[in-house]
């Protein structure tokens, strides 16, 4: 109000006078003030000033507007947090992003600790490293995971995680390529394609984006797409063992996939982040398939093996044999992307990665993997005993459970929004009781 604003301004300008009576001037003054109206003064409201929001003249990336709601896992986490806020004593079994829970083996953290302390010495300090990763680590990755496969250390680019490399690869490919993806699949493949402008609008009736080739993977086809029905695309994203179904492609299936890519002149981006979980005699790398070096890129990560979800360390393999249509080596362009957008993985996690690949580190990693696989078996046994059809689990820390609600065409997000999610709660009740009683530990899988 105008009058009150005037008074407060006057008071604040001489506020020190109110700190004590001695501050007042005790001299009495006679002041003659002409009075015209002895009525009570009224407070006159000042009309509210309309707040003008400043806007730049830069248009929003129209592709960002295509994205549906939030990214899946933050949205699940938001709902979980809201539930806990309302019910703080609730015991929640999270079915959102699969994070690791077991501590990183000490043989690995000790190496990171040593590297960290060395940075405080003149002899051990290092600044920027090679954008492609430290030579010793690249050599260890090549000899550990790609021995006898013709992959050299300079084909390997060490990074801050496979998920980051997926986005860098999208920058490499640009907005004009077409892409195919397993259905279902890890959402980062699709969302990064949307952001890059490779897709059409979201089709709500089908809950899919236009211009993406969705390769249906179901129990009926063994979770491997019928390639005779798949249209030709420039890029094919393929994850094996798969996130989220847990299915692992056989050697014969991957041989067909490689031939399919060759016949169409396509590039496979092969996500092998769960390769060490493999129990069957299935390929752990796409490069085990003859001819794959001419059509494939492979990404992987330490997140799933050593608990590096928060440490962040992964790698991407781009063989020299992989060429664009004009004959230019793809590795050279990816190297330029890495050098432009990235200053290399942190030197401390790289020390941890090197320790992971030592004999002691490999033994410790396999111990962690066995722990998670044991929990996966418990989950599978629980759902199976309750009469559900259960898939995956054997070659990955993921269990794919068939609910009758799927027959009505309801996606998993809608399913969890509706009261039918109680079916899921009932299905894991037996397992939850065991967890709460401390009879078994419970973990989720891990995402890139």
How many alpha carbons lie under 13 Å from residue 277 in its C-beta half-sphere? 35
Which architecture characterizes domain 71-101+362-436 according to CATH? Alpha-Beta Complex (3.90)
β-strands 314-317, 156-159 pairing: antiparallel
Tens-place pLDDT, residues 179-237: 999 999 999 999 999 999 999 999 989 889 999 999 999 999 999 999 999 999 999 99
Cα 50 vs. chain centroid, distance in angstroms? Answer: 42
Residue 154 contacts by C-beta under 8 Å, 6 or more apart in sequence? 132, 138
Tens-place pLDDT, residues 119-146: 999 999 999 999 999 999 999 999 999 9
What does pTM read for this prediction? Answer: 0.79
Distance CA 142, CA 110 (A): 23
CATH number belonging to the domain at 108-357, selected among 3.40.50.720, 3.40.640.10, 3.20.20.70, 3.40.710.10: 3.40.640.10
Torsion of CA 210, 224, 263, 209, to 10 degrees: 10
- Residues 314 and 301 sit within 8 Å (Cβ to Cβ): yes
Helices 106-118, 359-385: axis angle to 10 degrees equals: 130
Q: Which two tokens stand for residue 185?
A: 């699949």
Q: Please give the DSSP secondary-structure letter assigned to residue 397.
A: S
Identify the residue whose tokens are 């086809």: 221
- pLDDT score, position 41: 57
Of 297-306, 308-317, 423-432, which gets the smallest average pLDDT?
Answer: 423-432
Q: Where do the domains of the chain lie?
A: 71-101+362-436, 108-357
Distance CA 256, CA 270 (A): 14
Element (H, E) at 314: strand 314-317
- pLDDT score, position 440: 43
């Amino acid at each position: 109000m105008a009058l009150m604003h005037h008074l407060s301004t006057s008071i604040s300008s001489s506020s020190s006078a109110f700190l004590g009576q001695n501050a007042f001037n005790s001299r009495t003054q006679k002041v003659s003030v002409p009075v015209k109206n002895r009525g009570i003064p009224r407070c006159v409201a000042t009309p509210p000033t309309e707040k003008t929001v400043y806007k730049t003249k830069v248009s929003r990336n129209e592709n960002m507007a295509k994205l549906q709601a939030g990214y899946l896992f933050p949205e699940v986490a938001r709902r979980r947090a809201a539930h806990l806020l309302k019910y703080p004593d609730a015991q929640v079994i999270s079915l959102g992003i699969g994070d690791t829970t077991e501590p990183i083996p000490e043989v690995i953290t000790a190496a990171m600790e040593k590297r960290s302390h060395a940075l405080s010495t003149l002899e051990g300090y290092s600044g920027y490293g090679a954008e492609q990763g430290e030579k010793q680590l690249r050599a260890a990755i090549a000899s550990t995971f790609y021995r006898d496969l013709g992959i050299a250390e300079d084909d390997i680019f060490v990074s801050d995680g496979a998920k980051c490399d997926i986005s860098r690869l999208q920058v490499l490919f640009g907005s004009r390529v077409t892409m195919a993806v397993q259905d279902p699949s890890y959402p980062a493949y699709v969302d990064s394609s949307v952001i890059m402008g490779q897709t059409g609008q979201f089709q709500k009736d089908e809950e899919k984006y236009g211009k993406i080739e969705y390769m249906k993977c179901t129990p009926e086809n063994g979770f491997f797409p019928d390639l005779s029905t798949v249209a030709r695309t420039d890029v094919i994203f393929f994850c094996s063992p798969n996130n989220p179904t847990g299915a692992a492609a056989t050697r014969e299936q991957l041989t067909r996939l490689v031939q399919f890519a060759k016949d169409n002149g396509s590039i496979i981006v092969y996500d092998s982040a769960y390769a060490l979980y493999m129990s069957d005699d299935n390929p752990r790398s796409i490069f085990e398939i003859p001819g794959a070096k001419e059509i494939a890129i492979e990404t992987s990560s330490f997140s799933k093996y050593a608990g590096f979800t928060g440490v962040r360390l992964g790698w991407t393999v781009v063989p020299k044999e992989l060429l664009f249509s004009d004959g230019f080596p793809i590795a050279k362009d990816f190297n330029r992307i890495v050098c432009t957008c990235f200053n290399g993985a942190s030197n401390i996690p790289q020390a941890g990665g090197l320790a992971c690949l030592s004999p002691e580190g490999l033994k410790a990693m396999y111990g962690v993997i066995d722990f998670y696989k044991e929990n996966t078996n418990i989950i599978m046994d629980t759902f199976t005993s309750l009469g559900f059809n259960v898939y995956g689990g054997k070659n990955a820390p993921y269990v794919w459970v068939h609910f009758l609600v799927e027959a009505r065409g309801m996606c998993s997000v809608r399913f969890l929004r509706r009261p039918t999610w109680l079916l899921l709660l009932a299905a894991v009740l037996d397992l939850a009781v065991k967890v709460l009683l401390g009879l078994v530990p419970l973990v989720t899988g891990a995402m890139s």
